[in-house]
Every structure is written in C-alpha cells, then in structure tokens.
Amino acid sequence: MLKIKLLFTALFFLLHAGIALAQQKYTLSGTISDAENGETMIGATISVKDLSGVGSACNEYGYYAITLEEGKYTIVVNYISYSTQEQVIELNKNIVMDFKLSPDTKISVEVIVSAEQEDDNLRNTEIGVEKIDIKEVEKLPVIFGEKDILKTIQLLPGVKSAGEGNSGFFVRGGSADQNLIILDEAPVYNASHLLGFFSTFNSDALKDVTIIKGNPPAQYGGRLSSVLDVKMKEGNNQKYNVTGGIGLISSRLSIEGPIQKDKSSFIVSGRRTYADIFLKATEDFKDNKLYFYDLNAKANYRINEKNRIFISGYFGKDVLGLGDDFKTDWGNATATLRWNNIVSPKLFSNTSLLFSNYDFNIKISGNVNDFNINSNIKDWNLKQEFSHFINESNTLKYGFNIIHHQITPTRFEGTISSSDKKSRYSLENSAFVNNTMRLNKRLNLDYGLRFSMYNILGGNTYNIFENSIKTDSILLANGAFGKSFYNIEPRFQFSYLINKSSSIKGGYARNTQHLHLLSNSTSSTPSDQWIGNSYNIKPEIADQVSLGYFKNFKENNYQLSVETYYKNLQNQVDYINGADIITSPDLESELLYGKGRAYGLELLLKKTKGKLTGWLGYTLSRTERKIDGINYNNWYVARQDRTHDLSLVAMYQLTKRWSLSGIFVYNTGNAVTFPSGKYNIEGNTVFYYTERNGYRMPAYHRMDLGATYSRPHKKKYESSWNFSLYNVYGRENAYTITFEDDPNDPSRTRVIQTALFRWVPSVTYNFKF
Amino acid sequence: MKKILAILASVILLTACEKEINIDLNNADPKIVIEGAVSNAAGPYYVRVSKTVNFSAGNEVSPITGAIVSISDNLGNTETLIEASPGLYATNSTTGVPGRTYNLSVSAEGEVYIASSTMPLQVALDSLIFLPFLGPGGVNVYVTIPMFTDPQDFGNNYRFILTVNNVTDDSYIIANDNSTNGAANRRPIFSPYALIESADSVQVEMRCLDRASYDYFYTLSQIAGNGPGGGTTPSNPPNNISGNALGIFSAYTTQTKKQQVP
C-alpha cells in the first residue's frame, strides 16, 4: 500500500510542478452546445487565435475551461461540420461564456476554416481511438435496414465481427467479453438482441459513440481490449421533435423537447421488432413468440449556472417462446443519475450513481412440473470524477469508482430440484488520476494511473480446485471479506508533431479485468455467463504497447493512420473439453487458465470532406492463446484470429436529394477445429481431432449497397426513404461447417456448409417533425 | 437448450441455405480406438479394437486383429477374450455384477492399454410417462419421462436410449443428479430426431454409468449439438483408457421399458 501512496504523491508533484510559477491569471469557462437543439458538444475545441497552440477541448459534458494571463484575446470555437465562432474577450476577471454553434450547411456567411480543429487527429494523444458519426451510420447500408453502431464499428481496422450479421465484436484479438460497453457510464452486459443479430443500441437516441482500442485514459478500466463509450442524447431544449422510422423488421419512435426552454429537456425513444407478427400469420408458427424491444429515456435539468442533473435509463428485453411450454427471455436495464457541478471555473465535478441489471431466464412448463434456468447480474455503481483545468497546458482528471456486484450464476432449477444456488457478492473499486499535458507545440502527453481493487464479499461458499478436483472449501459468512486483489494500471500516451501534416503517437497501457464471461459456444448465446474473480480465478491482465504514424494531406481532406500494437494477456479463462456448464455443482471445476498474445498492423485512410467520403481500413494481425489442458498445452491461434481484414466504406452525395453508399468487406476465415480422422463408437461415427483451431473457415467477403432519398420538406415535416441491399453479389459465406454421416449413404461422411444470408433487401422510411 | 435455440435460430433465418462442400482435411496417423463394455445383462460382452481412418475414407471400421484383450474384476476373476470377428473380442465367462470394478487390458501393436470402470448399483426404472408438448409447427408431440427415484447418495449418472416404433435414435441423452440428488425424476427425455406422436410405441433403455462414461458421452452430446446457434469447439472426449487411446471402457447396468403412447 505504501508503494501506491508514494506513486500517487509523486504523480501529483509532477502535475503541479508547473503551476507555482503562475502570474495573475484568469479563467474563461462555460459550455459549448448546438444552437438548434441545445445538445452539448463533446470534444468541441476552443483555442486562442493570438497564442498559437493554446487551447482546450470540451469534456464529455460539453464543459470547457481555459486559463490565461490577463489580456485581450480572440477566442475561436470549433466543432467538426459546425460553423466556427470567433469572439473577442477582455480577460480581466474569471469569465463564464457559453457558445452555441450552428451546423455548417445552414450558414451562408463565411466559414472560417481553422487548422486547429481539423488536424486535431494529429495533435491529440489518442491512439487506437475512433469516433462514430451517428449521422454517417444512418447512411450506410445495413442488414434488415436496422442501422446499428455496433455493425459500423466492425468496419474499422482492429475491430472484427463475431459472425455474419452479428453485433458482437472482437478488438485486437480480445474476446467479446473484454470490451467495456457503457451506455451513459452504465455497463451493458449483453449488447445484443436476437442471438446477436441486432445490438441493444437504438441509434436514434444516441449522441456520441467512441471506441478506444486498448489504450484508454485512466478514468476507464475493467476490461482488457476496448472501451465502447456510448452517450445518449440529452434531448432538444429548444423545441419539440418527433423522429421515427418504419422498417421491415422493426419500427422506432423518439420524442424530445424542452421541459423548460434552455434549461431542461427530455428524450424518450422506443423500438420494437415485429417478426412475431409474421409468425402469427403462419399456420405453423402462430403460437411462437419472437421479438425484442428497447426503451431509452433521459431528462436533464439545469438547476442553476453551476449545477445540472441528468437522469437516464435504458430497458430492453428479448422474448422467444414456443407455444406456452417453452419461454426464454433476457434483457438489460440500466439507470444513471448524474450531477454536474462546477466547483470553480477550473474544477468540474461529475457524480454518477448507476444501476445495471442483466437477466436471463429459460422456462419450460409441463403438466406436472416447471423447470427454469436463470442467471442475473446486478450492479450498483458510484462514480466521482473531477476535471481539473489546471492551466493552459494541463488538464487533470481524477476520481474514484465503487461498484457492488451481485452475480447469480446459471443453474438448472425445477419444481423438484435440490439446487443450492446462491448469489455471489463482490466489490470492484478503483481510483484514478490522469493528466493531459501540452508540453510544447510539438509534444503532447497523457499519463495516469489506475488503481483497481476487487474484494470477494461473504455470503457464499467458495471451492478451491486443482486440476478440476476440489482440494479445499471456504465458507464466507455474510458481511465477511474474502480474498482481495489489488492491481496498479499505468497508462501513458504521447503525440509528437513532426510537421504541420504528420505526427507520431505511442502508448502503453495495462488493463485488468475482474469479471469474466464463460462461453462454451463458438458464437455468443444468451446462456454465456459472467463470473467474478474467485479463489481459482485471478484478474485477467493485458499489457498493450501501440505506436502509430498519422498524416493528413490535401488540406486535411484525407487522413491516414498506421498503427501497430502488441498485447500480452495473462490469466485467461476457458472451459475444459466437455465442460458441463448447466448442472455441474461448481462451474469453477470446469475451468482452465492460460495466457495469450496478439499483435498486428492497422491502416486507415479516411476521406472526410467533399461529395465522396468514407474510409479504407486494413488489418494484418495474429492472436494466439496457450491454455494448460488445451491443444496439448501448446500455443494455438484463437478463434477470432483473422490474418487479413479489409473494409471499404464509401458515401456519395449524388444530388441534393439522393445519397448513395457502399460497403465491401473481406476477411480471412475464423480459425476452427475440423476433424483429421474418424472412428466408430456404438455404430456411430465419431470424429478424431488433432489440434485446436488448426483449420480456417473459407474467406469471407461481401458487398452492400444503399441509397437514401430525402424528400423535400413540407413545412416542418422531413422524411427520407432508405433502401439497402445486403450481400449484393449473393455470396454464400460459410456460417457453419459441419461434418456428418451422409443420410443417403451411411458408408460415407460428408461436409455441409451453411450460409445465412443471400441478398437481403430492405427499405426503411424515416421521418422527423 | 442449445438445440432449442438452434431451432429458433433457424426459424428466424429462413434464408439460410446448406450445401455439401469439399474440404481438404489433413490426414492424421491412425490412432488406436478401444470400445469396451460390461453390463449386468447376460454376456458375452465385447471389446472392439480398431484404428482411426482419414475423413475421406469410407465409414467401415479399420480393425486391429491379433490383440491380446483381457478383462478382470476386483474379486480376482480374469479372462482373456477371444477374437470373434476381426477386431471384435468377446468374453465367455465374465459376468457383469453391479458394484464390481472391471479392468480392461489391451495389448496391441506393441503397446499395452489399460482401463477400469465400476458398475454402479442399479436404479430401478419404474415406468414411462408421456407428456404432450406443443412442437414446432403446432403439432402435438410427446416427451417421455422415465420414472425412477435417484438414490440419496450423490453421484449417479444415467444414459437413455430411445427407440420409437422400433427405430433406435442415436442421440446421446444423458443425465446426472447434480441438481436433483435423491429426488424422483421429473426430467423429460427428448430427441429432435425421434419425435413421438400419439399411439407410437416407445422403448427406453436406462443405463447407470460411472463418472468417466458420463463425461465421455456428455462430451459427445455437446459436440453433436453443432448448429446455427454455434456449437462447442469440438475435442476428443476425455476417457478412462491409458496411453491416449480413443474410445471408452464402460461398466453399466441396463434395463428397458416399452410402452405405447396413449
């Protein structure tokens, strides 16, 4: 503990070193928001025209602060695709000034193009970070016409799809559970609907989506591979709006508006699929249920200049049922209560209280008995974060996070079963400090420390296993503290501007993960279950080093980035061969442990302006695991290893009314285990396997096209038609390959390939008024 | 569960299409496979010794002839088996008695393989009950509940072999008492490949197995569940035979009930 204290003290000294020299200085602060709907602008930049290289960016609540010596300055405010504002100020006291920016297109006056904002991608230290433009997502063709941010991020280098049409994703060789998916700070444990074909995110309700591929600043933690930070819209505080869409599979509707103009607003957004309505129409499936729905709601209220509160919630559920006898449902619920407080112009505080619940149920009813299988995770989470705008070159963030987990594992229960299922309780706490520092005009640094703790709490019995055999057992009384884990996670990143159009960036991060998803399946199913650290399971640890070269050319019209990474993984968890995941008395007897490594090269060329926009992404990578008890304890390539992964995304504004879009993807097939021989047991063919993941699925490629027609506005009513065609050239991409006896000729075996989708056309009607 | 999900997935994915393809699979060196069983039914009991063949080969068993196979029990009875047909070795005097431990020794191609299995005490199968269940397509199908009471002692494992209208289903249906110890069974058995309708004749063979045999057949059942929902990563099932031989040596009790669905 002493060591940790020393580290933090040293860090604080380092941070405050430059401050003592300050002369008479004043702070300009405020919020930057959209003039039309009042949404605050995350990442909008504010710079001082008179002082080259001096500026600041809004935090995630649209708050900025910049501290300068007394004087007269021209302040420039920028946000991508919004008109730039300039304001002359006389800084002789602390000033609070809010800015409202209007979208570019509607401003006829001269737009000042500022290099400061446009080459921000070169200057900031962010490496392996991509922001998703929600407006862009709307234009891209997508399966079933259901726009989906999780499918858009899969088109970025380093992010791979979990399967055909699937919203699950893998980042830089990590498994699906190593992504931290947060919606307004609340973790979402299962981000997919209908076996992964849809994500839980209704993009109508979203404001900002950022993915960080393994080098997050210290305020983020808890997962190894990535952070997907999703923020909901705050709601228009200027006027009422209704937006919606009618598609083939689902419809959605959002209503937003001011509660008090300029002061408070709300948004409610819902979505429901109606595949079950088609089922009703069929004789065969009319008693079956198959649907999901989502509800997002958020409200915010500005109490006064210094205090603002937000309440947001998400509720989503999937229901699958066969008649009255079989029903399975699962869903997430999250709730966030946030309080923004401007303690002083330089110090911004956010306090969040979060609740997150994930439920999974299967119910089988019979005449004499009922069976059910269920699991549940319930989190209470308190987060305190300070943004401290120390001076023009340092922005410090520090805070802590306390999470109480209650995890109820998946177990088989029935009217007559003698299950001794009990929840496990634990505390996951962390403290962090992170500084973003502009060292000089060329060099920017971002460094911090995260200290994470995990305590097993009492109320359950924990068994200790060695090679699947129980060697000891620990009974923890209610209220007792069990085993605790402490981890220090250093984070460091830099960017160095080589010249006006290019920079180098690098970073190192250690991430630890205390919750682990156990999955014995080759694709994500709702029966996958979460388990915390225990007397057998240690925290997973990843160390990642990244290095990148960034270049902008043609007046920042094109952005190129080349990034490489190497990641080392410790304490990875997997099931033993033939693990019994439903009935074994303690799942921990079915686990194996090992390590992993992943490395690769990612290329991204983006065109950000003009009639034609889009990007070309390419990843060359390798991902391996070594788990004692699998593959004769040798290294093997992980399932998600894909040597080549290419995506081409293009959007073209044809006329004022028509825009076209297209996607092409190509990737090496997944690493899979195929038989190398066969034999006979009891007259049935059994396959003989020699190595784990020694084969490849066939390469995957596909092209999708889309077109959007925006109808002329009628008064306030705007509408558009979106047409898309998934898998234009109808390639039968292998979804599964199975081996079986030929039913027509028992003397031979055959290989069957199943392809899911060929030519999926869809049409969606979107409206807004 | 996995199967039901798979069925539901295929309902959604009406567009899915299947076709037979050719894959160039590696050839592996042939590996020895030993499959032996002793039950409480009358002998002879058989041990089959064979080799794996390449995937592209036919399904005929590749026998290992001339092996020396013996079975002994914990009371000191021992017997060397006679090769009844190529690769198939038969007992003459061994009797299967619940509670005894049987040891198998196979000497073939210069290696000796041994295995051991204890025949559990028999749990009585009383009768069969059929419950209607609304199956896919709105047709009433039946699931079968084998009526038996699990003993108080923990660690009972069961395997069921379902025969509908004299056609034996080859799915691996297995159960244990992990969550239902000591209780009267209420769990139905079901195979999507052997749907039961009214007036069908249903026969259930119930076997009581030891843990190693349970693990073996459980793993086979998991691998077989490969479908649109995705199956487990396949592996060679864990077994009780030394020397990395494939297969299983299992001592089990067996009893059969046959009833007609009302």
Q: Is B243 on the interface with A (CB under 8 A)?
A: no
Which residue in the set A373, A520, A678 is minimally distant from B232, CB to CB?
A520
Tens of pLDDT, residue by residue over A648-663, are 999 998 988 999 999 9
| DSSP bridge pairs for A110 | none
Please identify which residue in the block is written with the tokens 């896919």. B136
B26 contacts in chain A (CB < 8 Å): 676, 690, 694
User: Is residue B176 in a domain?
Assistant: yes
Joined together, the tokens standing for residue B92 give: 């003459």
Assign residue B68 the CATH number of its domain. 2.60.40
Residue ranges of domains in chain A: 2-118, 231-768
Q: What is the pLDDT of residue B204?
A: 94
Q: Do B248 and A690 touch (CB under 8 A)?
A: no
Which segments of chain A have a pLDDT < 70?
Answer: 1-23, 53, 105-118, 195, 275-288, 322-325, 364-371, 410-421, 520-527, 581-583
Q: What is the number of domains present in chain B?
A: 2
Which residue in the set B31, B218, B233 is minimally distant from A522, CB to CB?
B233
Q: Do B21 and A746 touch (CB under 8 A)?
A: no
User: Is residue B69 in a domain?
Assistant: yes
User: Is residue B204 in a domain?
Assistant: yes
d(C-alpha A103, C-alpha A79), whole Å: 9
B33 contacts in chain A (CB < 8 Å): 679-681
Q: What's the gap in Å between the CA of A637 and the closest CA on chain B?
A: 13
Asked if B200 and B130 sit in the same domain, the reply is yes
The candidate with the shortest Cα–Cα distance to A138, out of A720, A558, A616, is A720
The pLDDT confidence band at residue B177, using thresholds 50, 70 and 90, is confident
B152, B232, B250, best to mutate vs chain A, most A CBs in 10 Å: B232
Residue of A nearest to B28 (CA): A676
A143 contacts in chain B (CB < 8 Å): none
Q: Is B14 on the interface with A (CB under 8 A)?
A: no
Mean pLDDT over each residue of chain A, to the nearest integer:
84
d(C-alpha A152, C-alpha A148), whole Å: 7
Other beta carbons within 10 angstroms of residue A436's beta carbon come to 21
Range of the domain at B43: 32-118
Q: Is B24 on the interface with A (CB under 8 A)?
A: no
Question: Span B216-237, mean pLDDT?
Answer: 70
A520 contacts in chain B (CB < 8 Å): 222, 232-233
Element at A249 (helix H, strand E): none
Give me the CATH code for the A231-768 domain, please: 2.40.170.20
Q: What is the pLDDT of residue A7?
A: 54
Cα A152 to Cα A26, A140, A232, A474, B60, distances in angstroms:
43, 8, 17, 46, 50
Q: What is the pLDDT of residue A518?
A: 83
Please identify which residue in the block is written with the tokens 């299962």. A190
Q: Do A677 and B54 touch (CB under 8 A)?
A: yes
Is the CB of residue A123 less than 8 Å from the CB of residue A503? yes
User: Is residue B4 in a domain?
Assistant: no
Backbone angles phi, psi at A405, to 5 degrees: -105, 140
Residue of A nearest to B48 (CA): A681
Q: What is the pLDDT of residue A338?
A: 93
Give me the CATH code for the A2-118 domain, please: 2.60.40.1120
Q: Do A413 and B28 touch (CB under 8 A)?
A: no
Look at strands A558-575 and A540-553 and give their pairing. antiparallel
d(C-alpha B64, C-alpha B88), whole Å: 9
Asked if B63 and B134 sit in the same domain, the reply is no
A250, A318, A678, A725, best to mutate vs chain B, most B CBs in 10 Å: A678
A197 contacts in chain B (CB < 8 Å): 12
Q: Above 90 in pLDDT, residue B250?
A: yes
Q: Do A689 and B234 touch (CB under 8 A)?
A: yes
Mean pLDDT over each residue of chain B, to the nearest integer:
85
Cα B222 to Cα A313, A577, B146, B251, distances in angstroms:
39, 10, 22, 22
The candidate with the shortest Cα–Cα distance to A32, out of A66, A69, A3, A61, is A61
A373 contacts in chain B (CB < 8 Å): 1
Which residues 156-195 in chain B show a CB within 8 A of chain A? 170, 176, 178-184, 186-188
Q: State the pTM of this model.
A: 0.85
Q: Is B262 on the interface with A (CB under 8 A)?
A: no
Residue of A nearest to B134 (CA): A323
Cα A198 to Cα A249, A274, A599, A692, B161, distances in angstroms:
11, 13, 29, 30, 39
Q: Above 70 in pLDDT, residue B97?
A: yes
Q: A59 Cβ partners below 8 Å, 6+ apart?
A: A42, A348, A387
Q: Do B178 and A520 touch (CB under 8 A)?
A: no
**Of B101, B118, B135, the domain-final residue:** B118
A319, A676, A691, A696, best to mutate vs chain B, most B CBs in 10 Å: A676
Backbone angles phi, psi at A393, to 5 degrees: -120, 0
Q: Above 60 in pLDDT, residue B9?
A: no
Q: Do A290 and B138 touch (CB under 8 A)?
A: no
Joined together, the tokens standing for residue A197 give: 């074909």
B49, B54, B207, B235, best to mutate vs chain A, most A CBs in 10 Å: B235
Asked if B149 and B78 sit in the same domain, the reply is no
Tens of pLDDT, residue by residue over A531-572, are 899 999 999 999 999 999 999 888 778 889 999 999 999 999
Q: Is B155 on the interface with A (CB under 8 A)?
A: no
Q: Do B55 and A582 touch (CB under 8 A)?
A: no
User: Is residue B219 in a domain?
Assistant: no
A755 contacts in chain B (CB < 8 Å): 16-19
Higher pLDDT, B3 or B82: B82
d(C-alpha A267, C-alpha A265), whole Å: 7
A319 contacts in chain B (CB < 8 Å): none
Q: What is the pLDDT of residue A283?
A: 56
Asked if B112 and B129 sit in the same domain, the reply is no
Which residues 30-59 in chain B show a CB within 8 A of chain A? 30-31, 33, 35, 48, 50-55, 57-59
**Of B118, B144, B179, the domain-final residue:** B118
d(C-alpha A462, C-alpha A445), whole Å: 44
Q: Do A678 and B227 touch (CB under 8 A)?
A: no
Q: Do A679 and B246 touch (CB under 8 A)?
A: yes
Asked if B83 and B48 sit in the same domain, the reply is yes
Q: What is the pLDDT of residue B118?
A: 95
Q: Half-sphere exposure (CA, 13 Å, Cβ side) for A678?
A: 22
Q: Do A687 and B235 touch (CB under 8 A)?
A: no
Cα B167 to Cα A321, A670, A681, A752, distances in angstroms:
30, 38, 18, 25
As to burial, measured by CB atoms within 10 angstroms (0-12 exposed, 13-18 middle, 19+ buried), residue B148 is: buried
Q: What's the gap in Å between the CA of B72 and the closest CA on chain A?
A: 22
Q: How many residue pairs bridge chain A and chain B with CB atoms within 8 Å of each other?
A: 246
Q: Do B170 and A683 touch (CB under 8 A)?
A: yes
- ipTM summary value: 0.89
Q: Is B9 on the interface with A (CB under 8 A)?
A: yes
The pLDDT confidence band at residue B3, using thresholds 50, 70 and 90, is very low
Higher pLDDT, B83 or A276: B83
Q: What's the gap in Å between the CA of B17 and the closest CA on chain A?
A: 5
A283 contacts in chain B (CB < 8 Å): 138
Joined together, the tokens standing for residue A454 give: 């995990």
Asked if B128 and B110 sit in the same domain, the reply is no
B8 contacts in chain A (CB < 8 Å): 195, 290, 320, 322
Is the CB of residue A405 less than 8 Å from the CB of residue A429? no
Q: A425 Cβ partners below 8 Å, 6+ apart?
A: A404, A405, A406, A407, A456, A457, A458, A459, A460
Q: Do B237 and A695 touch (CB under 8 A)?
A: no
Tens of pLDDT, residue by residue over B32-51, are 999 999 999 998 999 999 99
Joined together, the tokens standing for residue B134 give: 């609304």
